[in-house]
Amino acid sequence: MTQKLRLDGGRLDRTKALNFTFDGQAFQGYEGDTLASALMANGVRLIGRSFKYHRPRGVFTSGSEEPNALVELRSDARQEPNTRATVAELFDGLDARSQNRGPSLRWDPLAINDLFSNFLTAGFYYKTFMWPKSFWEKLYEPAIRRAAGLGSLSMQDDPDEYDKGFLHCDLLVIGAGPAGLMAAQIAGRAGARVIVADEDFLMGGRLNAERQEVGGMAGHDWAASVVSELHSMDNVRVMPRTSIIGAYDHGTYGAVERVQDHIHTPVSGKPRQILWRIYSKRAVLCAGATERPIAFPNNDRPGISLAASLRAYANRWATAPASRVAVFTNNDDGHRTAADLMARGVDVAAVVDVRQKAAKLSDARLIAGAQVIGTKGRQGLKSIRVRHSDGRLETISCGALGVSGGWNPNVHMTCHQNGRPVWDEDIAAFVPGADLPPGMSVAGAAKGLFTTTDALRNGAEEASAILSDLGFASGGATELPQADDAAYEHEPIYHVTHGKGRAWLDLQNDVTVKDVKLAHQENFRSVEHLKRYTTLGMATDQGKTSNVGALAVMAELTGKSIPETGTTVFRPPYTPVTVGAFGGRSVGAHYRPIRKTPSHKWAEENGAPLVRAGNWLRARWFPKSGETHWRESVDREVMHVRSKVGICDVSTLGKIDVQGADAAAFLNKVYANGFAKLAVGKVRYGLMLREEGILYDDGTAARLGEDHFVITTTTANAALVLRNMEFARQCLWPDMDVQLISTTEAWAQFAVAGPKSRELLQRVVDEKFDITNETFPFMACGELSVCDGLRARLFRISFSGELAYEIAVPARYGAAMWRRMLELGKDLDVIPYGVEALDVMRIEKGHPTGRELDGTTTALNMGMERMVSRKKDSIGSVLDQREGMIRTDGLRLVGLKPVNTSETFTAGTNLVNDGAEIVINNDQGRVTSACFSPSLGHCIGLALLKNGDARMGEVVRVVSPAQNTDVKVEVTTTHFFDPDGGRLRA
Amino acid sequence: MGGVFVHDLHTITPLGALVPRVDQLNGIIIREVSDRALASLALRWGKEAEGRNAAERFLGLELPAPGGHAASDSFSASWIGPNQWLIGADITGHELMPYRLRDALAGRASVTEQTDGWCRFDLEGTFCLQVFERLCRIDIARMAVGSAERTLLDHLNCLVICLEQGRRYAVMGPRSTAEALHYALLTAAGSVN
Amino acid sequence: MLINHPLLGPRDAQEFIYLGDARLIDRPDWQAADAQEQFFEYTYLRDNPAGEHKELWFHEYGDRSWLVVTRNTVTHEITHVELASEAARARGRSK
C-alpha cells in the first residue's frame, strides 16, 4: 500500500487518505486524486487492454480526452464500464477493474490478435469473413463481438436516480481555465447572470497543472481566489463536475453535472447526475486545447503519455509513472515538462527534440534533431530507441515517455451547428472558423492563443464585448493579472519516418499509420471514407488525440495540405453521457404520466384488471368470485347489460366545450355531417375527416344551448381533435365567433346501459327532471341535477345498442356517484362493466372504432357516405370524392360470421374468396374487429371487404398463414344485434 | 342553474382522498389545493371590449395581460390564452361561480366550468426555485408576483402561478394526472440540495 | 430551438407541435370549378426550401396559439413569428 511514486506537493489533501481497489488489489490515494493519478502513485502502469489487438495499455492523458485508460467502476447493479480513469474522482471504497482482457490483466490469451495484426488491419471485416456465408452469423460475428469491445454491463437495472433540469443565463462560460475564469469574473462583476461550468472537480484548468505564477501568486491560488469570488456572487452559478456536451439551436446548451459520481453510494432520492438544458443569451467557449502525440513505432506502451499530462501528474497530483522519464517533443512546451519533472525530483533521461536548432530550456540532456523510433517493454515501457540527426541509434532506458506534438484547440463545440474549423498555419492546428453557433464566442487556447497571458486577456476581451452587446455597463477597465508569456515555438511532425513496427494514431480503436496507408491504397481517401474504413476517431473519445495526426498522414499520402484533406464533423456529446441521464426520472412506471379515471380506486378495490388506453388506465372487466377466465366475466357483463343494467366509466372520452355565436357554423366546418339544424337539447353523432378525405375521429355533439355545444372525441384523439379545431378556428376561419376549451378532466362521465337504465337513473336524477321516453327520447340531452341538487348532464346516447345514457357530474363527485348508482341499483341487479364488454357490444352493433378508423379508411368504406354533406363546406369533403376513393368496388365494412359457428377467428386476418389460393393477389380485404358474441353464441367480426355491400350472404374465408387460420365465413350486415334499433329507443 | 343545493355526495380530491394532502420535505411544503371553483372565460369575437368590461365589473379586477395573474378579494384571474382567462374563487360559497359568471356575461363571453379540470399543488419554501429548475423550462427566477405561465412540466400541460417570488408558487395540471404531477413535485423537492 | 412567441416571449420548441408549411392557411374555395385539383395541391404539394420557410407551430403546452414561424431550414434561424390568426386575416381569411 505504499505510494512509491508519490512526489511532494500537489493539489491533494494528504490528511484524507482514500482506500480503493484495482482488480481486487488494495491501494491508497488521497483526496484530490483521480483513479489514474492514484494508480500511478502506486506504481501501476498497466491499466487495460486495447480494443482490437488486446495490447497492454496505460494512462495516456490527464483529462477527458483519454483514449486508453478505460476501466469498470463499482460492482453489481452499479457496475459502470468504459469509465476514463483520468477523470474518475477517487473516493474511499472505490472498486475498479480493468476490462477487455483475459483471465488477468497481465495474461490475456486474446493478445494473440496482436500477432495476427496483419490480418486484422483496417477493413478486415469486409475481406476476411466473407466465406462461407453462413459462418458470419454463427461463428465470426459472435467471436469478434466477444473479442472486441470494452467493458461489460451488469445487465441489472440502474439503481441510481437521474434528474433533468433547465437553467437560464446571460452568459455561459464553458471551461474554467484562465480564459474562462477571467470571462466569468468580469461578467459576474458587471452583474450579468453567469453560469461557469467545468468538467473537472477542481476549477482552474491548466493553472492547476502548471508551476506558473498569475498575478503574483501561484496560478492555482489565483484560480482558487477567482472561483471563491464567483461563489460569493448571487448572479453567478459555479458548476464544477459539469460537462457541456453540445451546442444546440438558439443558445441552448446541454450539460451533464456529475453530482454524486464521486460518492461511494449515492444518497437515495438525490440524483447521481443531472442533465441540464441551459438557455443562454451568449456563451463563451474556453475549452482549452488538447496536446497531440507524435506517432512512432510501438508508441502505445504503458508509460508513454502526452508530455503535458506527465507535467499535470507531477504538478497537480504529485506523481510520475516512473522515477526515470524521457520527453519526445517538437516544441518548447515539451521542455517545460522536463523542467517541472526535474524540479519535483524526477530523473529526466533526455529531451528528444525533432528540431535541429532546439534550444536547451531545461537542465535535462537535450538531443536535438532526433526522433524516437521504437520502444521496448511489453507490459510497461523499459527503454526508447532514439535516432540521432546523424543516423546514429541510441537506446535510453526510462520507465515513462512524455510525447508532445503540439497543441490542438478544442474546437468541437464550435462545429456543432455545421461550422467547420479553419487551419492556422502558425500553430499548425485547426482553430474555430467564422461560422460559430449563433451567440458563441471563443476565448483562449480554444482559439489557438496558447500563452496564459493571451488566455487571460482574450477571456476578458470576449466577456467585455458580450457584456456591451447585452447592454451591461462595463465595470471599468479590468486589470489583467501578470502571467507567463512564452512564445509557442514548434516544428510540425505527426509521425516519425524511421523505425520498424506499427505506429498508433488512434489508441482507442487501434488504428495505426499503416491502416491509414492501406485506406489510401484502397482509395478510401476522403476524410469521411478514411474514418469509416479504418474506424479512426469513431471510438468514445471521438479521436480527440488522433484525428489531426491521421489527417496529416493522409495529407502526406495524397500530396495535399491538411486543410485540403479536410476535417470530420464534430457531433454532440463532447464526452460520453450515461444513458440514465437522458432518461431522467421518466423511467419504469414513470415513463409516461398515468391518467386515472374517477372510478379508478373502486375498480382497483374490486380486482379489475386495468389496461392502458393512451395514458389512461381503464378497467377491462370486473371479475366475480368463481370466474376463472376473462371470457366468463366479459360474457356475463354483456348478457347482464343486455338484460338488466350496467354502468361503465367513460370519462376518458375527450370532451370539448364549444361556444360562440358561430358555434354551430363552426361545427359544420369540422364535422362532415350537418350540425346547423341540430335542435337545442339534442345530440348527434358526427364524423371528422382529415382534409385528405380520410376519417380520423367520430363522436357526438350535444347542443346545450343556441350557442353552446359539448362534443366528445375518442379517448385516443382528444388532444389531436382540439388541436385541429384550434387550427380551423385560428387559421382557417379567424373571424368566427367560437371559443374552445377542453373539459375532459372536469366531468366524470358514466355510461348507464340496459333495459333498466332509465329506472336506475330515475333514482339519482332529481325528481323535478322528467326523463321519461316521451320527454327525454333517444338522442336527447340536457343539464339537470342529481342526488338532491348536484349539477349534472345527461345524454341519451348508446354505444351498446341498449336503452342507454351517459351521465356526467363534476369529477370530484364522480367516485361517490359511481358508488351511489351501484347502491341505488342493487335491486335492479346493476353491475359495473369494463372496456372489453363495451367493445363486444359495439361489435355486435357494428359501430366502428379506431380499429376501423385506422387512418386509411373513408366514410364510404364505412358505409357512412351519406353522412358526408355535399351541401356545405367541411374539412375533407372535397377530397373524399376523389377518383379512386369512390370506386364502387372498393372496401366496404361488413359483418362476418363463421359458416360453422363453432369456429373462431381474430382481427388482423385477411380475406380471400372461397376456393382461392392464399396469395397476396387474391386478397379481398381484412378483418378489423372480432370477438365472441355472447348474445349470438358464436364468433363475429367486422371486416373491410372489396365491394362488400354487394356480397351479402356470400361465403369467403378468413385466413392467416401466420396463425394457420382458414375459416369459412358468411358476409352479413354489420348490425348483428337488434338491427332495427328498437332496444335503444325503448 | 343557481342557488344553494344540498346533495349528499361526498367529494374526493384529485389525489383521490377525502382531504387534501400536505407533504413537507427538504424545507419545502407541497399542499394539494382542491378548494377553488374555476371557470374559463373567453371573450366573444367582436365583443371583446364589452365582455372585458362586464367581466372586470363582475370580478372586481383587471383581466391580466398575456402571462399575467391578478386577484381581488374574492376572485383571481390567470391568463391562459389570447382573450381567455382562468377565473378562480373559493369553492365555499362560490361553487356555482362559473354559472353565475356565465349568466352575467351571457352573449359577451363564453364561460365554462373548469373546477375539476385541474389539480393544484402549492409549493412553499426557500428552495422553490431549485425545485422548478428540475421541472420546467420557464425562467422561474425571473417570474414575479402577478405572472402565470402555461408550460410543459414533467410531460404535462401545466399552469404555474407565482404567488411570492422565490418562495411560493401554484402549479396546476390536468386533474386525472394528479398523482403523476404530485410524484414529479415530490421527487424534485427531494432531489434538491 | 426557441420560438419567440409574440405574446409570451422566447419559449422552448418542445412546448410546440409542428405542423408544416404555412400555406395550409390558404385553404381553397370548395365551390371552385377546379376545387378537387386545388385541394389536391393544397393538401399534398409542398415546397421544400433549403432556406427561409414559413411554417405553422402550435403552442400545445402553452396558450394554444397557432403561430406562423419564419425559419431558415438550413440554419434554424427564426426571423419572424406572428399569431396565425393575424396572418390568416392578413391573407384574407374571415369566416
- A143 band by pLDDT with thresholds 50, 70 and 90: low
Chains touching A (3+ CB pairs < 8 Å): B, C
Report CA A32 to chain centroid distance, whole Å. 32
pLDDT of A488 reads 83
Residue pLDDT, tens place only, A794-851: 999 999 999 999 999 999 999 999 999 999 999 999 999 999 999 999 999 999 999 9
d(CA A13, CA A321) in angstroms, rounded, equals 20
Alpha-carbon gap: A702 to the closest alpha carbon of chain B (Å): 15
Q: Please tell us whether the domain made up of A1-153 is placed in CATH 3.40.50.1580.
A: no
Rounded distance, CA A328 to CA A494, Å? 12
If you average pLDDT over residues A651-670, what whole number do you get? 98
Angle made by CA atoms A205, A59, A371, in degrees to the nearest 5: 95
pLDDT of residue A126: 62
> From the list C2, C39, C56, which residue is nearest A731 (CB)?
C56
Distance CA A69, CA A300 (A): 12
Q: Which residue has the cell 359539448?
A: A710
Other residues' Cβ atoms within 10 Å of the Cβ of residue A116: 10
- Share of residues in chain A with pLDDT > 70 (%): 96
Instruction: Give the model's confidence band at A139: pLDDT under 50 very low, under 70 low, under 90 confident, else very high.
Output: low
CB pairs under 8 A between A and B: 156
- Residue to substitute from C1, C5, C7, interface B, most B β-carbons within 10 A: C7
**In this prediction, what percent of chain A has a pLDDT beyond 90?**
88
Calculate the alpha carbon distances from A112 to A56, A120, A518, A690, B2 in Å: 12, 11, 22, 64, 89
Segments forming the whole domain that contains residue C72: 2-90
Q: Residue A502: its pLDDT value, please?
A: 94
pLDDT one-digit tens code per residue, A759-799 = 999 999 999 999 999 999 999 999 999 999 999 999 999 99
Whether residue A22 has pLDDT greater than 70: yes
Contacts of A232 (CB under 8 A, 6+ apart): none
Cβ–Cβ < 8 Å for B167, B125: yes
CA A562/CA A582 separation, integer angstroms: 37
Q: Shortest Cα distance from C34 to chain B (angstroms)?
A: 33
Write phi, then psi, for A160 (nearest 5 degrees): -90, 165
Q: Do A735 and C94 touch (CB under 8 A)?
A: yes
C10 to chain B: closest CA residue: B138
pLDDT of B3 > 50? The answer is: no
Distance CA A97, CA A967 (A): 61
Q: Which of B66, B152, B157 sits opposite C8 (nearest CB)?
A: B66
pLDDT grade for B1, boundaries at 50, 70 and 90: very low
Contacts of B138 in chain A (CB under 8 A): 166
Average pLDDT for A260-287: 97
- With an 8 Å Cβ cutoff, are A731 and C85 in contact? yes
Q: Residue A526 has which C-alpha cell? A: 476522403
CB atoms within 10 A of CB A123: 16
Of A165, A167, A746, the CB nearest to B117: A746
Judged by DSSP in three states, B112 sits in: strand
pLDDT tens for residues C38-74? Answer: 999 999 999 999 999 999 999 999 999 999 999 999 9
**C95 in a structural domain:** no
The pLDDT score that the predictor gives to residue A142 is: 65
Render the burial of C58-89: b for 16+ CB within 10 Å, e for the rest.
bbbbbbbbbbbbebeeeebebeebebbbebbe
Q: Is the ipTM of this complex over 0.95?
A: yes
Mean pLDDT of A251-269: 96
**Does pLDDT of A476 surpass 70?**
no
Q: In chain C, what residues touch A721 (CB-CB under 8 Å)?
A: none
Question: Which one of A665, A691, A877 has the shortest CB-CB distance to C43?
Answer: A691
Cell of A977: 344485434
CA distances from A660 to A731, A737, A958, C65, C66 (A): 17, 5, 50, 18, 19
Tell whether the model's pLDDT for residue A967 goes beyond 50: yes
Distance from CA of B72 to the nearest CA of A (A): 24
Give me the pLDDT at residue A133, please. Answer: 66
Model confidence over A346-374: pLDDT tens digits? 999 999 999 999 999 999 999 999 999 99
B186 touches chain A (CB under 8 A): no
Average pLDDT over every residue of A268-291: 97
Helix axes A814-824, A757-764, angle to 10 degrees: 120
Checking if the pLDDT of A147 tops 60, the result is: no
Polymer length of chain A: 986
Distance from CA of C25 to the nearest CA of A (A): 5
- B84 lies within 8 A of chain A by CB: yes
State pLDDT tens for residues A388-406: 999 999 999 999 999 999 9
Burial of A676 (0-12, 13-18, 19+ CB in 10 A): exposed
User: Can you read off the three cell numbers belonging to residue A278?
Assistant: 441551459
Is 3.30.1360.120 the CATH classification of the domain at B22-34+118-191?
Answer: yes
- Positive or negative torsion for Cα A549, A554, A556, A557: positive
Cβ contact (<8 Å) for C61 and B150?
A: yes
Please tell me the distance in Å from B42's CA to the nearest CA on chain A.
7
Count the helix, strand and coil residues of chain C and give each as a percent rounded to the nearest 5.
25, 35, 40
Cell of B67: 402571462
Out of C12, C31, C36, closest to residue A881 by CB:
C36
- How far is the C-alpha of A891 from the C-alpha of A893, rounded, in Å? 7
Q: Which three cell numbers stand for residue A599?
A: 372510478
| Domain tally, chain C | 1
CB A273 within 8 A of CB A261: yes
Chain C: closest CA distance from residue A477 (Å) = 33
**Are the folds of A162-289+409-470 and A637-651+746-841 the same?**
no
A221 pLDDT above the threshold of 60: yes
CB contact under 8 A, A746 and B133: no
Confidence of residue A152 (pLDDT cuts 50, 70, 90): confident
Instruction: Give the residue with greater pLDDT, A473 vs A228.
Output: A228
pLDDT recorded at residue A103 = 75
Residue A593: which of B8, B13, B154 has the nearest Cβ? B154
In the three-class reduction of DSSP (H, G, I as helix; E, B as strand; rest coil), residue B81 is classed as strand
Q: What are the extents of the domains in chain A?
A: 1-153, 162-289+409-470, 297-404, 493-590, 637-651+746-841, 654-742, 887-985
Closest CA–CA distance from residue C63 to any residue of chain B (Å) = 4
Of B137, B150, B152, the CB nearest to C63: B150
Residues of B with Cβ-Cβ distance to C11 under 8 angstroms? 137, 151
Helices and strands in chain C, H and E counts: 2, 6
Residue C82 lies in a domain: yes
Alpha carbon of B9: minimum distance to chain C alpha carbons (Å): 34
To which CATH superfamily is domain A297-404 assigned?
Answer: FAD/NAD(P)-binding domain (3.50.50.60)
Q: State the Cα–Cα distance between residues A24 and A151, nearest whole angstrom.
A: 16
Residues of A with CB under 8 A from a CB of C: 248-252, 277, 279, 417-418, 438, 662, 665, 691-692, 719, 722-723, 726-727, 730-736, 873, 877-879, 881-882
Class of domain A887-985: mainly beta
Residue A62, burial from CB neighbour count under 10 angstroms (0-12, 13-18, 19+): buried
* pLDDT for the residue numbered B2: 38
CB neighbour class for A100 (10 Å; exposed up to 12, middle 13-18, buried from 19): buried
| Chain segment A615-625, per-residue pLDDT in tens | 999 999 999 99
CA pair distance A509, A507, nearest whole angstrom: 6
Kindly report the length of chain B.
Answer: 193
CATH architecture, domain defined by A162-289+409-470: 3-Layer(bba) Sandwich (3.50)
What value does the mean pLDDT of chain A take? 94
Identify whether the C-beta of residue A307 lies closer than 8 Å to the C-beta of residue A339.
no
Q: Which of A147-161, A646-660, A717-731 has the lowest mean pLDDT?
A: A147-161
Q: How many angstroms separate the CA of residue C56 from the nearest CA in chain B?
A: 17
Q: pLDDT per residue over A478-537, tens digit each?
A: 789 999 888 788 999 999 999 999 999 999 999 999 999 999 999 998 888 999 999 999
CA distance A594 to chain B (A): 6
Estimate to the nearest angstrom the gap between the alpha carbon of A483 and the chain centroid.
Answer: 43
Domain B36-113 = CATH 3.40.50.1360: no
Choose the CATH number for A637-651+746-841 among 3.30.565.10, 3.30.1360.120, 3.90.550.10, 3.90.1640.10: 3.30.1360.120
Look up residue B53 and give its DSSP letter: H
CB pairs < 8 Å spanning A and C: 92
Residue owning grid cell 491504397: A521
Give the residue from chain C lying closest to A883, CA to CA.
C36
B40 vs A168, A741, A815: nearest CB: A741
Chain C residue set in contact with B, beta carbons under 8 Å: 7-9, 11-12, 14-15, 60-65, 83, 85
Chain B residues in contact with C85 by the CB 8 A cut-off are 82
Q: What is the DSSP letter of A483?
A: B
pLDDT tens digits, residue range A116-128?
776 667 766 666 6
Percent of chain B that is helix, strand, coil (3-state, to 5): 25, 35, 40
Concatenated DSSP letters of A288-343: -EEE---B-BTTTSTTEEEHHHHHHHHHTT-B-S-SEEEEEESBHHHHHHHHHHHH
Confidence of residue B4 (pLDDT cuts 50, 70, 90): very low
Is B141 within 8 Å of chain A by CB?
A: yes
Query: Which of C1, C66, C86 is closest, CB to CB, to A249?
Result: C1
Query: What is the residue whose three cell numbers read 423537492?
Result: B189
Quick check: helix, strand or coil at residue A159? coil
Inter-residue contact A157 to A77 (CB < 8 Å):
yes
Report the gap between the CA of B161 and the closest CA in chain C (Å). 13
Contact B157 C85 (CB under 8 A): no
Alpha helices in chain B (DSSP H): 48-59, 97-104, 128-133, 178-191
Cross-chain CB nearest to A166 (options B13, B113, B133): B133
Q: Which three cell numbers stand for residue B129?
A: 426555485
What's the pLDDT at A605? 96
Rounded alpha-carbon distances, angstroms, from residue A873 to A141, A674, A866, B89, C95 = 61, 10, 15, 42, 12
Please state the rounded mean pLDDT for residues A406-434. 95
- The CATH H-level superfamily of A493-590 is BFD-like [2Fe-2S]-binding domain (1.10.10.1100)
pLDDT tens for residues A31-69?
A: 999 999 999 999 999 999 888 888 999 999 999 999 999
Chain C residues with CB under 8 Å of A734 CB are 85-86, 88-89, 93-95
Stretch A931-941: mean pLDDT: 98
CA-nearest of A527, A558, A555, A557 to A543 is A527
Per-residue pLDDT tens over the stretch B67-76: 999 999 999 9
* CATH domain A654-742 topology: Alpha-Beta Plaits (3.30.70)
pLDDT at A733 over 60: yes
Of B11, B138, B176, the CB nearest to A745: B176
A840-883 pLDDT, tens digit each = 999 999 999 999 999 999 999 999 999 999 999 999 999 999 99
Instruction: Find the CATH number of the domain harbouring C11.
Output: 3.30.2270.10
pLDDT of B6 higher than 60 = no
Delimit the domains of chain B by residue range.
22-34+118-191, 36-113
Closest CA to A178 of A40, A25, A299, A288: A288
Q: C78: which residues sit within 8 A by CB, 6+ positions away?
A: A250, C1, C2, C3, C4, C69, C70, C71, C72
A879–C39: do the CB atoms touch at under 8 Å? Answer: yes
The chain B residue lying nearest A740, using CA atoms, is: B42
